Structure 1
Amino acid sequence: MCQVWTRRLCSPLDMELAYVCDWEKRQKNAHCPSIPVVCSWSCRNLVAFTTDLKSDDNEKDVSHMIHIIDTEHPWDVFSINSGHTEVISCLEWDQSGSRLLSADGDGQIKCWSMTDHLVNSWESILSSSLDRDPIIALSWLHNGVKLALHQYSFF
């Protein structure tokens, strides 16, 4: 379930519930610990968040998904099979809110972009790998051309 709260204009401290989205309930597996959800909110009021989806056929086959919601139309969810091989550890929007970075625990970084400026159409335009070192933080630099990132090195 996701909840979105809005602030009242008369008082900056008063918040009221704008809407609630209920997701389909899946049966929990006792053998798999829950994985923390990573999320990021853009200046265009797009919310990106991650989930992991297990295959019904093979318990070990996991798809690392990125979901994007336009908060003005929260009932429309666009889901991307990210192709990441490990759990997604970071999501970060650029300043325009039209490109999204995703990084995982295997050192893989992907840049996603809207196709034809459509919120419901995304494609991976760039990817890079950092020799299996987990990415724990990343950010766009001011002009949106370069990235700053922090990786966890075991050595």
Structure 2
Amino acid sequence: MNPPSVSRGRQRRRPMAEINVVPYIDVTLVLLIIFMVTAPMLQTGVDVELPQAEARTIHPEDRLPIVISVKADGTLLLDTGDQADAPVDAAVLPGRVVEQLARQPGLPVLIRGDRQVDYGRVVTLMAALKRAGVERVGLMTQPPPE
């Protein structure tokens, strides 16, 4: 006869049917931190201080508008979606906008002028665009603080 203590010592271990999720949680937390740190760095643009005014918000459908930025020093930048904020000469600008509109008709054209820019500079730019054949030109503003 076998003693009872010998048979108890050789019991088989049952396999665990649970998944250890702790490593997955650690990886997810690290990825979350990485995305939180890098997301603000991905936002690029020209530093333009927009004037404040009450206006309705334009919701672009699927296509981004053509944005002409006028910096405080008078520098003109053109954002057509293909090239983001490319410096452009005032004499060449209307032709470039018309070319872009010929490729993608119906795109809205917006002027984003710095608060320090002379009003006459913005009006001259709008008139040049109208002479070139751009039918609708909008002005970008910031909503006033509440």
Name the TM-score, length of structure 1 as normaliser. 0.25
More strand by share: 1
More helix by share: 2
Q: Rg: which structure is higher?
A: 2
